[in-house]
C-alpha cells in the first residue's frame, strides 16, 4: 500500500497536478497519510513558540514543501493531547498542506509539552495574540492566519477575536459555548450555569483535565530532543476510572473531587461562585461588553450543551463587529447533531430515538471556500449568496436558510399552560392552548431533591457518560407525579418553531429557594415524546443574577426562564408538549431548597411547588412560529 501511495504522489508531482484535485483524503489510512506528508510537507515538531513572559508553547508545524511564496496558516490550539495526530487530524493536515496552507497544532500552556501553568481557555488574549505575532513574523507566512477547532479547541478563539490581531483574518469556531461568559440574557459563564443552576458536566471534565500533578520535562531542551522524548512518553496521565453515575450523587458538591483524593484545583474555586462573581470576568471568557474583530463561520448543534449562547453570540458579532466587514461576514450553520459530531451528518441520521432523515451537509466545502476567501484573498471562492444562517429543521427534516436568527418570518406566539388542577404526570389533565386563561387555576407537586427527576437526552456533552445527548423519548419521566405535563390537541396543520423559545412561569413555594425546569417536547401520533430542548432557572435569581432574593411562602413570583433554542416542525397530527418540574439530574445540580449555598450543604428539604395558570398569573411558552 505504501509503495502504491508513493507512486501516486510521485506521478502527481511530475505531472504538475494539484494533489487536492486528484485525491479525496477522507478514505486514506493513517500510514498512507503519513507517507503523503513526507512527500509534500516540511515538518517541525515540538517547537516552543515564545510568549511574552518567556513561557514556550509546544507547536507542530506543517508547511508546503514546494511552495513558491508565502503561505497562509490554519492555526489549531488545544488543551488536549496532540502528541500523535489521529487519522482525522492527519487528514486535516494533509488536506491543508496540499491546498497550499501551513497547518499549526499548538498545546495550551501547562498542557503536555507546553511550558507554564494551565488555565481554562489558555490565556486567549495574551498567548493567542503572541502566537499570531510569531506566526505572522515567519518568512514563510503571508500574514494571514485562520483559527479553527471544536469545543475547547474553539472556545479560546472568542477572547482572541476581541483583540483584533492584524493577522487574525478569519475564524471557524465549532461548538464553542464554553468560551462564552455573558451574552445578552445568557449568563452561563462557560457552560457552568443555565439559569443560575450549575451544570454538572464541568465537574467531571475538570477531573480529567485540571491536573496540577502533571508530568513535565526539563526546560531548554531542543525541539529534536523533545520530539524524541515524545516517541516514548507523551506526558499524558491515566487517572483512575470513576463510576460517575454513582459518584455524582455525592454531597456536598464542593467535596466531589477532593473526597476522591484529588488535590484542590479549579473546581473548588469555581463551585463557590455565583453567576455575578467577579472571577468570571478575570479569565479567558468572552463577554458582550468586549469588541469583536474577526469574520466568523460558526458551527452549532441543536443537541449541544449551549446552543442558546452560541446563537446569541453569533447575533452579537453581527451587530457589534468593529467594522462593516466584520459585521457583514458572520455566518452560522446549526445542525441536529450532538457536540462536535459534524462529521456524523449524512443519510439516515438518527438522534437518540428519532430518525431525522438525510442531514447531509458539505461542511468541508464550505470551510475551504471560507479559508480561500479570507486567507488567500480569493473573493470568488465563497459564494456571496450563501445564507448567513443555515439550519436543519427537525420534523420536516430539511436544511433551510435565512438572513437572520431567528428567521425573518418568525412571529412570537404564546401557548398557555392550562388544567383542571391535576396536570401531574402524563396521565393528568394538563393541556397547552393558544387561548389565554380567563379564570383561576394552578397545579402543585412535591420536589424532593433526594429523589430528583432523571435526565434523559436533550443537549449535553463531556459528562463522563452520565447523560447521552439527543432526541430521546420522555414518557418514563412524564409518568412521575412531580412532573407537570401540558399537551396540545393534535395539530390540524404543521407548525414550524425556529428561534429562541421563551418560557414564563408564575410560581409559589413553601421553600426559601427552589428550581423550575421546563422542557419542550414533540409528541408523535404513536405517543412517543421526543425532547426538543430544555431549560432550568433558580428562583433566587428572578430579579437578576447579581441579586439573591429568597421566596416567601404563599407569594406568587414570575420566573422568566433562560430561553431554549431550536428549529422543529411539529407535523400535522403531532402534539406540542411542555413539561414543568424542579429538577433535571444529573445534567443540572440539585437545589436542596434551603435557601443556602447548596454547594456546601448535604441535607435537603422537600419543596411544595405550585405553577399558577390564572388570568392574573398565567404561565406560558413563547414560540417563534415561522409562517
Domain positions in the chain: 1-150, 410-626
pLDDT at residue 84, rounded to an integer: 87
> Does the pLDDT at position 3 exceed 50?
no
Q: Where are the alpha helices (DSSP H) in 213-332?
A: 223-230, 244-247, 266-270, 307-320, 324-328
Answer for the pair 441, 419: CB distance below 8 angstroms, yes or no. Answer: yes
- Choice between 33 and 26, residue whose per-residue pLDDT is larger: 33
How confident is residue 220, by pLDDT bands cut at 50, 70 and 90?
Answer: confident
Residue range 419-469, pLDDT digits in tens: 999 999 999 999 999 999 999 999 999 999 999 999 999 999 999 999 999
The grid coordinates listed for 379 are 473573493
| Residue listed under C-alpha cell 453567576 | 275
The average pLDDT across 567-589 equals 98
How many other β-carbons are positioned within 10 Å of the β-carbon of residue 86?
11
Answer for the pair 596, 514: CB distance below 8 angstroms, yes or no. Answer: no
Answer for the pair 95, 20: CB distance below 8 angstroms, yes or no. Answer: yes
**How far from the centroid of its chain's Cα atoms is residue 87's Cα?**
23
Please determine whether the domains at 1-150 and 410-626 fall in the same fold group of CATH. no
Report which secondary-structure segment, H or E, holds 490: none
- Choice between 7 and 31, residue whose per-residue pLDDT is larger: 31
Report which secondary-structure segment, H or E, holds 333: strand 330-335
Angle at 132 between CA 128 and CA 138, to 5 degrees: 150
- Going through 337-483 in order, the beta strands assigned E by DSSP cover 349-351, 354-357, 389-393, 398-402, 410-418, 431-433, 442-447
The average pLDDT across 66-90 equals 93
Answer for the pair 627, 409: CB distance below 8 angstroms, yes or no. Answer: yes
DSSP letters, 562-576, are PPEEEEEEE-TT-EE
Q: Is the peptide bond before 252 cis (omega within 30 degrees of 0)?
A: yes
**CA–CA distance, 408 with 315 (Å, rounded to integer):** 13
> Does the pLDDT at position 476 exceed 70?
yes
Answer for the pair 85, 61: CB distance below 8 angstroms, yes or no. Answer: no
> Does the pLDDT at position 1 exceed 50?
no
pLDDT at residue 212, rounded to an integer: 66
| DSSP 8-state secondary structure symbol assigned to residue 562 | P
- Choice between 169 and 213, residue whose per-residue pLDDT is larger: 169
Q: How high does pLDDT run on average in the chain?
A: 94
Calculate what percentage of the chain has a pLDDT beyond 70. 96
pLDDT at residue 27, rounded to an integer: 84
How confident is residue 14, by pLDDT bands cut at 50, 70 and 90?
Answer: very low
Report whether CATH 3.40.50.9100 matches the domain 1-150.
no
> Does the pLDDT at position 2 exceed 50?
no
Taking CA atoms, 308 is separated from 131, 271, 415, in Å, by: 30, 23, 21
How confident is residue 409, by pLDDT bands cut at 50, 70 and 90?
Answer: very high
Which residues, listed in sequence order, are joined to residue 393 by a DSSP beta bridge?
398
Residue range 500-550, pLDDT digits in tens: 999 999 999 999 999 999 999 999 999 999 999 999 999 999 999 999 999
Residue range 297-345, pLDDT digits in tens: 999 999 999 999 999 999 999 999 999 999 999 999 999 999 999 999 9
Classify strands 56-64 and 182-183 as parallel, antiparallel or unpaired.
unpaired
DSSP helix/strand/coil, 594: coil
- Choice between 27 and 499, residue whose per-residue pLDDT is larger: 499
Report whether CATH 2.160.20.10 matches the domain 410-626.
no
pLDDT at residue 192, rounded to an integer: 97
**CA–CA distance, 90 with 105 (Å, rounded to integer):** 11
| Residue listed under C-alpha cell 414543568 | 580
Amino acid at each position: 500500500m505504501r509503495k502504491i501511495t508513493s507512486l501516486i504522489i510521485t506521478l502527481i508531482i511530475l505531472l504538475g497536478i494539484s494533489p487536492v484535485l486528484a485525491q479525496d483524503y477522507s478514505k486514506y489510512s493513517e500510514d498512507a497519510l503519513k507517507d503523503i506528508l513526507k512527500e509534500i510537507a516540511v515538518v517541525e515538531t515540538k517547537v516552543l513558540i515564545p510568549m511574552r513572559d518567556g513561557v514556550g508553547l509546544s507547536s507542530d508545524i506543517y508547511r508546503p514543501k514546494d511552495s513558491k511564496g508565502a503561505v497562509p496558516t490554519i492555526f489549531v490550539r488545544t488543551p488536549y493531547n496532540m502528541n500523535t495526530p489521529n487519522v482525522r487530524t492527519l487528514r486535516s493536515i494533509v488536506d491543508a498542506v496540499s491546498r497550499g496552507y501551513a497547518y499549526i497544532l499548538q498545546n495550551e500552556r501547562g498542557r503536555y509539552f507546553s511550558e507554564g501553568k494551565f488555565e481554562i481557555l489558555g490565556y486567549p488574549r495574551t498567548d493567542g495574540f503572541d502566537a499570531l505575532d510569531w506566526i505572522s513574523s515567519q518568512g514563510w507566512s503571508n500574514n494571514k492566519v485562520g483559527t479553527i477547532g471544536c469545543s475547547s479547541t474553539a472556545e479560546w478563539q472568542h477572547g482572541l477575536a476581541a483583540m483584533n490581531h492584524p493577522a487574525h483574518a478569519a475564524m471557524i469556531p465549532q461548538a464553542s459555548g464554553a468560551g462564552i461568559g455573558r451574552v445578552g440574557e445568557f449568563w452561563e459563564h462557560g457552560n457552568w450555569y443555565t439559569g443560575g443552576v450549575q451544570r454538572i458536566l464541568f465537574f467531571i471534565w475538570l477531573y480529567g483535565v485540571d491536573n496540577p500533578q502533571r508530568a513535565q520535562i526539563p526546560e531548554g531542551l531542543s525541539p529534536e530532543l523533545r520530539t524524541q522524548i515524545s516517541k516514548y512518553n507523551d506526558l499524558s496521565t491515566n487517572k483512575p476510572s470513576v463510576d460517575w453515575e454513582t459518584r455524582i450523587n455525592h454531597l456536598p458538591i464542593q467535596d466531589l473531587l477532593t473526597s476522591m483524593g484529588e488535590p484542590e484545583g479549579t473546581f473548588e474555586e469555581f463551585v463557590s461562585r455565583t453567576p455575578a462573581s467577579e472571577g468570571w470576568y478575570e479569565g479567558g471568557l468572552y463577554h458582550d461588553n468586549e469588541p469583536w474583530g474577526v469574520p466568523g463561520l460558526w458551527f452549532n448543534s441543536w443537541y449541544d450543551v449551549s446552543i442558546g449562547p452560541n446563537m446569541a453570540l453569533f447575533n452579537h458579532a453581527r451587530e457589534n463587529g468593529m467594522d462593516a466587514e466584520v459585521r457583514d461576514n458572520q455566518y452560522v450553520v446549526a445542525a441536529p447533531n450532538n457536540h462536535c459530531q459534524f462529521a456524523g451528518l449524512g443519510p439516515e441520521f438518527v438522534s437518540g430515538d428519532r430518525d431525522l432523515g438525510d442531514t447531509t451537509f458539505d461542511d468541508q466545502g464550505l470551510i475551504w471556500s471560507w479559508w480561500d476567501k479570507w486567507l488567500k484573498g480569493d473573493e470568488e471562492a465563497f459564494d456571496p449568496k450563501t445564507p448567513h444562517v443555515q439550519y436543519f429543521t427537525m420534523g420536516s427534516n430539511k436544511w433551510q436558510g435565512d438572513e437572520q436568527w431567528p428567521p425573518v418570518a418568525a412571529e412570537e406566539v404564546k401557548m398557555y399552560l392550562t388544567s383542571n388542577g391535576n396536570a401531574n404526570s402524563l396521565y393528568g389533565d394538563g393541556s397547552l392552548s393558544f387561548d389565554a386563561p380567563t379564570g383561576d387555576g394552578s397545579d402543585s407537586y412535591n420536589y424532593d431533591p433526594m429523589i430528583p427527576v432523571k435526565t434523559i437526552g436533550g443537549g449535553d456533552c463531556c459528562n463522563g457518560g452520565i447523560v447521552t445527548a439527543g432526541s430521546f423519548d420522555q414518557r418514563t419521566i412524564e409518568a412521575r407525579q412531580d412532573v407537570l405535563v401540558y399537551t396540545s390537541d393534535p395539530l390540524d396543520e404543521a407548525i414550524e418553531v425556529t428561534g429562541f423559545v421563551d418560557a414564563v412561569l408564575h410560581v409559589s413555594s413553601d421553600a426559601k429557594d427552589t428550581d423550575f425546569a421546563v422542557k419542550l417536547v414533540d409528541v408523535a401520533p404513536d405517543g412517543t415524546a421526543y425532547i426538543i430542548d430544555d431549560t432550568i432557572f433558580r428562583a433566587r435569581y428572578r430579579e437578576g443574577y447579581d441579586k439573591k432574593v429568597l421566596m416567601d411562602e404563599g407569594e406568587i413570583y414570575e420566573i422568566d426562564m433562560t430561553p431554549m433554542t431550536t428549529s422543529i416542525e411539529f407535523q400535522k397530527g403531532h402534539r406540542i408538549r411542555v413539561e414543568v418540574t424542579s429538577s433535571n439530574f444529573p445534567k443540572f445540580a440539585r437545589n436542596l431548597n434551603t435557601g443556602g449555598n447548596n454547594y456546601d450543604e448535604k441535607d435537603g428539604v422537600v419543596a411544595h411547588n405550585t405553577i399558577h395558570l390564572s388570568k392574573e398569573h398565567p404561565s406560558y411558552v413563547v414560540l417563534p412560529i415561522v409562517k
